């Protein structure tokens, strides 16, 4: 075949949710029964059409395959699973006679239904995005079960575009899968590669038939050492997969993209494979020391898809030019899909203009790619003005007031070992027992209660100045009072205030700390229809005034039960914000930790005896390369300890980690030295218990017994069995009973019913032990 030209500038993907979260709204309307499947399809098609037009107007070509066709209703990994017919057995009845699954069925796999638990969700590489884990077993009947991607390419053609379809590659797909429930011991999804490949081959042929010239296969698993399969096997699977796909007779040209890090020893494998283009993440990875790409196109990911800084455009061009010096054909691209960034800085009228000049969201990054492409095609001089403007903005940023604050830096410079250590656990445990008098298997929640329309409305009215601060505080206090009464009535042991005043667990702190800015429309997909609005951490961080102390002391004044103060930890604040890239993360983390340390001291002084510092993102920021992990764990654990080590022994420090694959980071979690750690465990069916059993973890642990990611109410029997599973592996004195995570996304009816079941189950187990 003659290889079609690869566009000189492209992006690996673009936000799917819409500038005004149109997709979220449409999908949720469909779930609520307010619109039909056809209406949802129409809304999605409109969004895809708008995206293509937008990308063309920003400088990508309409017909040169530079625009990725990378839409998803919920998740790209679920899309791949549904495309190849990998539907978990418990959802088999959703598959029609012809092997396909409709939209409603697709969402059911994602969200569960009745007794059927949804597919497990876990983080996508080192990002804050979560994908659905495919379940593969010997029984999985691979077949081409969806023509959605094919139809989307055809839809683009009708609109006058030739786009580049994007799908998760076969190796990554299987490496991210887990063995299905009935799979025999020792079975690994990768064992099914040879059965899966013909389906990909069939898909490639179908894409060619509708006019696709290039297809993008995303293989980020190749950059990750955290994958549990032996590296040599990953490499041989990759070689086999692309030898086979490369041999498909009528296929599009193959662009294999490897975002999120360097390919290392997988690069020679791809270089030797019969594919036509390789995507390198040059932001995370750097230029490979040896390149033998032959006549393949090297797609240099030099524009950071993970962050929102305008960055050093001249340096990005230098990188592309040195890549080209290897003799290869080079194209400019983003390092990852842009779906980790919001749509458009121009959509942020309230941001400080100077800050705006330092930023690039997805649309601006597309513009940067277009600029770099022009430089590659027409020479560096042709974009001199753009390069100079970017360099000037960068220089302005590094010298701007607030980016460096002398007092913050002086305090950080004076820290010693002692500031990071709380002392002996046995002493603490005894002091806490005396101070708190908790029953066996103490019950608590993770912090938030359902965020009702009323709460959101009051917060919005206050933000707009429609009600006074006094009225706002009164409304929130009414809510707190209701939540306290509810918890007392249900019988929980350690109460929370419910977090009604928080729009988001990170943004709330960002709004109350110096060094951060918050956006209006900067939404980023977190999973499914869920979006977050990361704050921008642009300067040195400090706490101008106490943040949570008033709310927590008010709550404690309402009850004789202990109230848990609720803070977000330094690592999570960093992970869920867009962070400055001009100093080591470790330094930024310690600045945040010191601000939290002051808050914790104030909470303690106000009589709050239990303080939870949430670190759900600890695992999330873990570098993909093993060599980088110890240094990360060192500073991340250190920042948590710096935040929490100032308290008296009798003050109980909790931490919470959602989704944490406990096994991987158990030593680090142990080193956090929290008195109690709560984690996700219901959805993953107490898999963590084995990890804990094998470890020396000796402090309090609350493996979740209620999966809050689904509206399902767990039965008393189900919760009882989960608690018993925990007790079979962990000593009773260590075990706490709690949900998997906060309740803010749930409704009250299911929450109250579920918590009642949790308490009934706890009482039943307490009576037995
Ligand atoms: N305390 C937070 C809440 O309950 C924790 C949320 C989280 O872990 N993501 O909402
Ligand atoms: Zn959580």
**pLDDT, tens digit, 9 for 90 and up, residues 378-387:** 999 999 999 9
Among 302, 303, 301, 300, smallest CA distance to 328 is for 300
Q: Report which protein residue has its CA nearest ligand 1's atom 6.
A: 742
How do residues 413-426 score in pLDDT, each as one tens digit? 999 999 999 999 99
Q: Which ligand is nearest to the CA of 576?
A: 1
Is 499 flagged in the annotation as binding? Answer: yes
For residue 129, how far is its CA from the centre of ligand 2 (angstroms)? 14
Query: Measured between alpha carbons, how far is 459 from 222 in angstroms, rounded to an integer?
Result: 45
Q: Considering every ligand atom, which ligand is closest to the CA of 682? A: 2
23 is in an annotated binding site: yes
Q: What does the block give as tokens for 593?
A: 């930790």
User: Which pLDDT band holds residue 115 (cuts at 50, 70, 90)?
Assistant: confident
Cβ neighbors of 538 (< 8 A, separation 6 or more) are 355, 358, 397, 402, 403, 515, 516, 517, 580
Q: What is the dihedral of CA 480, 481, 487, 489, to 10 degrees?
A: -160
Cα 226 to ligand 2 centroid, rounded to whole Å: 22
Is 22 marked as binding a ligand? Answer: yes
21 annotated ligand-binding residue: yes
531 known ligand binder: yes
143 included as an active-site residue: no
> For 260-314, what is each residue's pLDDT tens digit?
999 999 999 999 999 999 999 999 988 999 999 999 999 999 999 999 999 899 9
679 CA to middle of ligand 2, Å? Answer: 7
Q: Which residues line ligand 1 (CB under 6 A)?
A: 446-448, 499, 505, 566, 614, 616, 656, 658, 741-742, 744
Residue 213 and residue 65 in contact, taking contact as beta carbons nearer than 8 Å: yes
* CA of 742, closest atom in ligand 1: 4
For the cut 70, the answer to whether the pLDDT of residue 660 exceeds it is: no
What is the arithmetic mean of pLDDT over 20-38? 98
679 alpha carbon – ligand 1 mean position (Å): 11
For a ligand 1 pocket test, name from 130, 448, 532, 709 the mutation site with the most ligand atoms within 8 angstroms of its C-beta: 448
DSSP string across 261-326 = S--TTHHHHHHHSS-SEEEEETTTS---S----TTPEEEEEEE-SS--B---HHHHHHHHHHHHTT
Q: What is the pLDDT of residue 497?
A: 98
656 is in an annotated binding site: yes
Mean pLDDT of 691-717: 93
Q: Which of 446, 504, 620, 745 to mutate to test the pocket of ligand 1 (most atoms within 8 A of CB)?
A: 446
Q: pTM (2 decimals)?
A: 0.90
Distance 657 CA to ligand 2 centre (A): 6
Is the pLDDT confidence value at 369 over 60? Answer: yes
Residue 221's pLDDT band (cuts 50, 70, 90):
very high
Q: What values do phi and psi take at 470, rounded to 5?
A: -60, -45
The beta strands (E) that lie in 46-172 are given as 68-69, 121-123, 130-132, 135-136, 164-168
Answer for the pair 70, 16: CB distance below 8 angstroms, yes or no: yes
Burial 688-708 (b: 16+ CB within 10 A, else e): bbebbeeeebebbbbbbbbbb
Cα dist from 282 to 74, 145, 299, 316, 626, whole Å? 28, 35, 10, 9, 19
Q: What is the pLDDT of residue 696?
A: 87
Ligand 1: residue whose CA is nearest its atom 4: 742
* Nearest bound ligand to the CA of residue 532: 1
Tell me how far apart the alpha carbons of residues 494 and 487 are, in angstroms, rounded to a whole number.
9
pLDDT in tens, 464-502: 999 999 999 999 999 999 999 999 999 999 999 999 999
Ligand nearest to the CA of 742: 1
Q: Decide: 656 and 447 in contact? Cβ < 8 Å.
A: yes
Q: Tell me the CA–centroid distance for residue 504 and ligand 2, in Å.
A: 12
Structure-block tokens of residue 166: 């994007």
Mean pLDDT of the chain: 96
Name the β-bridge partners of 527: 530
Report the pLDDT value the prediction gives residue 620, as an integer from 0 to 100: 81
Cα(92)–Cα(114) distance, integer angstroms? 15
- Closest ligand 1 atom to residue 568 Cα is 1
Nearest CA to ligand 1 atom 3: 742
């Amino acid at each position: 075949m003659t290889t079609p030209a690869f566009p000189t500038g492209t992006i690996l993907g673009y936000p799917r949710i819409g500038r005004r979260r149109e997709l979220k709204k449409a999908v949720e309307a469909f779930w609520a029964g307010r619109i039909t499947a056809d209406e949802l399809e129409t809304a999605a098609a409109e969004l895809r059409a708008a995206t293509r037009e937008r990308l063309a107007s920003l400088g990508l070509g309409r017909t040169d395959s530079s625009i990725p066709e990378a839409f998803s209703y919920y998740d790209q990994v679920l899309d791949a699973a549904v495309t190849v017919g990998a539907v978990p057995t418990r959802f088999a009845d959703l598959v029609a006679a012809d092997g396909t699954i409709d939209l409603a069925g697709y969402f059911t796999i994602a969200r569960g239904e009745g007794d059927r638990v949804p597919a497990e969700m876990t983080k996508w590489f080192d990002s804050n995005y979560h994908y659905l884990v495919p379940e593969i077993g010997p029984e999985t009947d691979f077949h081409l079960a969806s023509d959605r991607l094919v139809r989307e390419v055809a839809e683009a053609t009708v609109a006058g575009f030739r786009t580049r379809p994007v799908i998760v590659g076969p190796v990554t797909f299987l490496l991210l899968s887990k063995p299905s429930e009935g799979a025999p011991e020792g079975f690994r999804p990768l064992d099914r590669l040879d059965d899966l490949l013909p389906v990909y081959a069939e898909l490639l042929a179908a894409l060619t038939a509708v006019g696709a010239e290039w297809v993008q296969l995303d293989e980020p698993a190749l950059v990750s050492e955290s994958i549990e399969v032996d590296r040599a096997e990953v490499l041989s699977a990759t070689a086999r997969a692309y030898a086979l796909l490369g041999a498909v007779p009528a296929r599009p040209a193959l662009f294999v993209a490897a975002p999120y890090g360097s390919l290392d020893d997988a690069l020679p494998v791809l270089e030797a494979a019969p594919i036509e283009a390789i995507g390198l993440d040059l932001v995370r990875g750097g230029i490979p020391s040896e390149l033998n790409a032959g006549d393949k196109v090297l797609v240099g990911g030099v524009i950071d898809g993970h962050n929102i800084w305008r960055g050093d455009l001249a340096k990005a061009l230098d990188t592309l030019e040195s890549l080209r010096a290897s003799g290869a054909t080079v194209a400019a691209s983003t390092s990852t899909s842009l779906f980790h960034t919001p749509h458009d800085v121009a959509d942020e009228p309230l941001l400080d203009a100077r800050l705006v000049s330092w930023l690039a969201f997805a649309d601006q990054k597309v513009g940067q790619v277009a600029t770099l492409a022009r430089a590659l095609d027409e020479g560096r001089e042709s974009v001199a003005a753009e390069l100079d403007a970017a360099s000037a903005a960068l220089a302005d940023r590094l010298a701007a007031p607030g980016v460096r604050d002398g007092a913050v830096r002086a305090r950080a410079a004076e820290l010693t070992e002692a500031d990071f250590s709380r002392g002996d656990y046995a002493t603490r445990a005894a002091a806490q027992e005396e101070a708190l008098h908790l029953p066996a298997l103490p019950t608590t929640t993770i912090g938030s209660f359902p965020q009702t329309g009323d709460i959101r409305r009051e917060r919005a009215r206050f933000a707009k100045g429609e009600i006074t601060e006094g009225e706002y505080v009164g409304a929130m206090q009414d809510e707190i009072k209701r939540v306290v009464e509810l918890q007392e009535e249900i019988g929980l042991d350690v109460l929370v205030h419910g977090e009604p005043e928080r729009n988001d667990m990170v943004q709330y702190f960002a709004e109350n700390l110096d060094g951060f800015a918050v956006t209006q429309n900067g939404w980023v997909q977190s999973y499914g229809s869920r979006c977050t609005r990361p704050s921008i951490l642009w300067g040195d961080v400090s706490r101008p005034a106490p943040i949570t102390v008033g709310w927590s002391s008010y709550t404690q004044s309402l009850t004789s039960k202990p109230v848990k103060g609720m803070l977000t930890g330094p690592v999570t604040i960093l992970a869920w914000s867009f962070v400055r890239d001009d100093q080591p993360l470790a330094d930024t983390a310690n600045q945040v930790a010191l601000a939290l340390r002051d808050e914790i001291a104030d909470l303690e002084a106000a009589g709050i005896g239990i303080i939870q510092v949430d670190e759900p993102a600890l695992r999330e920021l873990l570098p993909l390369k093993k060599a980088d992990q110890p240094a990360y764990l060192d500073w991340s654990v250190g920042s948590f300890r710096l935040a929490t080590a100032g308290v008296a022994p009798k003050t109980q420090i909790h931490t919470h980690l959602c989704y944490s694959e406990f096994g991987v980071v158990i030593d680090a979690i142990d080193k956090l030295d929290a008195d109690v750690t709560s984690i996700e465990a219901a959805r993953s069916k107490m898999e963590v218990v084995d990890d804990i059993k094998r470890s020396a973890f000796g402090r309090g642990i609350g493996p979740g017994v209620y999966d809050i990611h689904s509206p399902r109410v767990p039965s008393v029997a189900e919760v009882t069995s989960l608690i018993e599973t925990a007790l079979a592996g962990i000593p009773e004195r260590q075990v706490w009973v709690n949900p998997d995570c906060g309740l803010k996304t749930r409704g009250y009816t299911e929450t109250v019913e579920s918590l009642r079941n949790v308490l009934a189950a706890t009482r039943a187990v307490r009576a037995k032990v």
